[in-house]
């Protein structure tokens, strides 16, 4: 199956600093990537849809100026948490979509990034 | 508005028995459904999918059933194994859209 990597897997930062998380599709090209956030014991919350070469589409309630998304190539999307605060501490997961061919369609997820803001 | 719902937050099953995880959806435009398995502090991994042109898809111990009229799908795991203990998410998508809609997850515990 398709492989998606995320880096870093765990990051601790001070309040007020910015953190960049990378999401890469390793063996396929992904025109669309998604960024999710998961709180403990809760579902995946879609934050934004990242389209290669265009602006990301943010879900309602997600601050686009705080969570900057860049999808500069077909294999890389980045999420930058700007001016991080302790409430931004969470598990961030990206996924890359393999488009529908022959009635198959799925998203492949990265391993996630644990962000802790002190 | 939660378009995909998993009403059972948790399920416990004895090893060797059948696990049945349920999922309901509200959007009649959904035509493709997936199940993902997630361990703590890891990303979800794709398990099995089904298109709306089918009502059943089987892959080893995992079978997904789709009841379009009831807008309901279920995942059957038989026989259940302790390694199946994880959180299971169902997801749905529409051909016209880009997004997958995820349920809230069901935490499965298989008791040895």
Does A105 have pLDDT greater than 70? Answer: no
**A-chain residues within 8 Å CB-CB of B53?**
103
Q: Identify which of B83, B111, A55, B93 has the alpha carbon closest to the alpha carbon of residue B103.
A: B93
Chain B residues close to A97, C-beta within 8 Å: 98, 100
Residues of A in contact with B49 (CB under 8 A): 104-106
**pLDDT at A104 (0 to 100):** 53
Contact B98 A97 (CB under 8 A): yes
Say whether A109 and B44 touch across the interface (CB within 8 A).
yes
What gap in Å lies between CA A20 and CA A68, rounded to an integer?
9
CB contact under 8 A, B89 and A43: yes
B 12-51 residues with CB below 8 A of A?
32, 34, 36, 41-46, 49, 51
Which of B12, B1, B2 has its CA nearest to residue B80? B12
Q: List, for residues A19-65, the tens digit of each pLDDT value.
A: 999 999 998 888 889 999 987 767 788 899 988 888 899 998 999 99
CB contact under 8 A, B103 and A43: yes
B13-43 confidence digits (pLDDT tens): 999 999 999 999 999 999 999 999 999 888 8
Percent of chain B with pLDDT over 90: 76
């Amino acid at each position: 199956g398709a492989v998606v990597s995320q880096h870093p897997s765990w990051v601790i930062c001070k309040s007020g600093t910015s953190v960049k998380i990378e999401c890469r599709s390793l063996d396929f090209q992904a025109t669309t990537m998604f960024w999710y956030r998961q709180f403990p014991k809760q579902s995946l919350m879609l934050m934004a849809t990242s389209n290669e070469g265009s602006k990301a589409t943010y879900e309602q309630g997600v601050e686009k100026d705080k969570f900057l998304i860049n999808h500069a190539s077909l294999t890389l999307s980045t999420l930058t948490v700007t001016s991080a605060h302790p409430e931004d501490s969470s598990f961030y997961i990206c996924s890359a979509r393999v488009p529908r061919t022959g009635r198959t369609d799925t998203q492949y997820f990265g391993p996630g990034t644990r962000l802790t803001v002190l | 508005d939660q378009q995909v719902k998993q009403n059972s937050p948790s399920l416990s099953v004895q090893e060797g028995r059948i696990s049945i995880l349920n999922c309901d959806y509200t959007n009649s435009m959904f035509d493709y459904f997936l199940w993902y398995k997630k361990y703590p502090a890891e990303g979800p991994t794709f398990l099995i999918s089904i298109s709306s042109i089918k009502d059943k898809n089987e892959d080893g111990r995992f079978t997904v059933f789709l009841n379009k009229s009831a807008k309901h799908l279920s995942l059957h795991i038989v026989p259940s194994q302790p390694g199946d203990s994880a959180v299971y998410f169902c997801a749905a998508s529409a051909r016209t859209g880009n997004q997958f809609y995820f349920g809230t997850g069901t935490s499965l515990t298989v008791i040895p």
